[in-house]
Amino acid sequence: MPNSTSGSSRRLFARARRVLPGGVNSPVRAFKAVQGQPPFIARGTGAHITDVDGRRYIDYVMSWGPLIHGHAPAGLTKALVTATKRGTSFGAPTALEVQLAERVCSLVPSIERVRFVNSGTEATMSALRLARAATRKDKIVKFQGCYHGHADPLLVQAGSGALTLGVPTSPGVTKASAANTLVANYNDIESVKRLFRIHRRKIAAVIIEPIAGNMGVIPPQKGFLEELRDVCDQSGILLIFAEVISGFRVALGGARTLFGVTPALTCLGKSLGGGLPVGAYGGRADLMAHIAPDGPVYQAGTLSGNPLAMAAGLATLRKVLTDGFFERVGAKTDSLVSGLRDAAATAGVGLATNRVGAMFGLFFTDAQSVTSFSEVMACDSALFGRFFHGMLRSGIYLAPSAFEGGFVSDAHSDAEIQKTIKAAGQVLLSISREN
């Protein structure tokens, strides 16, 4: 596959591979899934990133989702400068974390108390520890292809980067760590019921991406979340929404707002911090009362609630509260996805798409829709790789994996979206002719 990366990036990647495993600090960044080498990014502004060779791209990765307002929005950068001048970390309470907690609790109806951490992985890991303690049960249920971070019990048939590397269960995860993790099929309530019939008395919680963002973007089918909520309630099992990706990206109150299903606990990250390292877990007050120092469930973090992340979170959420924000960014995403689908049809290339809010998934397949892990895995990842490199050469930066979703920000203009659709049309026609 032709290399789409310029000279300075290639040289930096060679240097990086001498001192960083695979040359990166997160596996998917290595471009292994698309058989290429990554551009090294120097700066980002609005909807664009620029690499070290000065090549400019329209960005649909958006730091893997957090940048709902685009790169370096003025309000956020101003808030960070102000916070930095006061100190980067205190290891002590601040007014900022109280303010952000109040804001989160007011915007997410299912969260009565919240604890801030430093990543989505910390959020899901901590929420599951809490669930086990509150129920006095050990087992959890997750869904095939859903990624909840790299904690050992969760690296079982995980999505995203694990899928990209062909290691659904990572070496180094002990049998004991994985033994209490049960796996169901997303959008298949019968698979959940089967596990409940066998293990109901031992299951503490079900954790799910209500919008599966780590095997592309797969929305829940009608009634799936509602029935999942019901069967959990009937069995005394806690339902955890892992909204690390979808929270504050698809709607103001996340999936709870879109689908009307209330979880016991919710995990947040990414857009909550506007690009800074942050995560959070929260839920019913009676459950959160188990967390130390109120209760016996230990969880701590030196940089949890640090003033930079809290300032970024407040600035990010302030902007999403403007009238019509999610409708506006959702309409942009719909325009993009519709245009890409039409371009593929014109070129005679099979392409299914999903869109929820400002998240989208592209699946190279002749199927009309993609709703499950098995359907995702049946898609043509090699064809995606050809499309990816063609778009990169055209100045369009997509996620370098067929198993990742795409993200639109409020900074994307109609002109940039139309430029993207035009480029896609040319790339897809070229692919069609080559076939």
Same domain, 364 and 423: yes
Same domain, 113 and 58: no
Last residue within a domain, chosen from 261, 294, 320: 320
β-bridge pairing 48-51 and 41-45: antiparallel
- Comparing C-alpha atoms, which of 288, 281, 188 is closest to residue 240? 281
Same domain, 273 and 396: no
Kindly report the backbone phi and psi dihedral angles of residue 24, in degrees, each rounded to the nearest multiple of 5, phi listed first: -140, 170
Name the CA dihedral angle for 281, 399, 18, 163, rounded to a multiple of 10 degrees: 70
For residue 164, the model assigns a pLDDT of: 37
The parent domain of residue 106 ranges over 74-320
Last residue within a domain, chosen from 290, 320, 350: 320
* Residue 2 belongs to a domain: no
Cα–Cα distance between 413 and 415 in angstroms, integer? 5
For residue 169, the model assigns a pLDDT of: 61
Low-confidence ranges of the chain (pLDDT < 70): 1-5, 157-169
For residue 1, the model assigns a pLDDT of: 44
Contact between 221 and 195 under an 8 Å Cβ cutoff? The reply is no
Same domain, 176 and 290: yes
Same domain, 40 and 79: no
For residue 155, the model assigns a pLDDT of: 77
Same domain, 128 and 272: yes
Question: Into how many domains does the chain fold?
Answer: 2
- List Cα–Cα distances, 329 to 6, 334, 368, in angstroms: 32, 9, 25
- Could you say which DSSP state residue 123 is in? H
Residue-wise pLDDT for 229-286, tens only, equals 999 999 999 999 999 999 999 999 999 899 999 999 999 999 999 999 999 999 999 9
Same domain, 154 and 274: yes
- Comparing C-alpha atoms, which of 373, 362, 374 is closest to residue 404? 362
Between helix 414-434 and helix 325-347 the angle, nearest 10°, is 20
Cα–Cα distance between 322 and 328 in angstroms, integer? 11
Provide the CATH number for the domain around residue 78: 3.40.640.10
* Residue 240 belongs to a domain: yes
For residue 158, the model assigns a pLDDT of: 54
Please confirm whether the linkage preceding 293 is cis (ω < 30° from 0).
yes
Same domain, 29 and 98: no
Question: At which residue do the structure tokens 């600035």 appear?
Answer: 315
Provide the CATH number for the domain around residue 353: 3.90.1150.10
Same domain, 48 and 107: no
Contact between 97 and 311 under an 8 Å Cβ cutoff? The reply is no
- Could you say which DSSP state residue 214 is in? S
Same domain, 152 and 123: yes
Same domain, 226 and 154: yes
Residues of the chain by 3-state class (helix, strand, coil), percent to 5: 45, 15, 40
Last residue within a domain, chosen from 320, 353, 376: 320
* pTM score of the predicted model: 0.94
Kindly report the backbone phi and psi dihedral angles of residue 70, in degrees, each rounded to the nearest multiple of 5, phi listed first: 90, -175
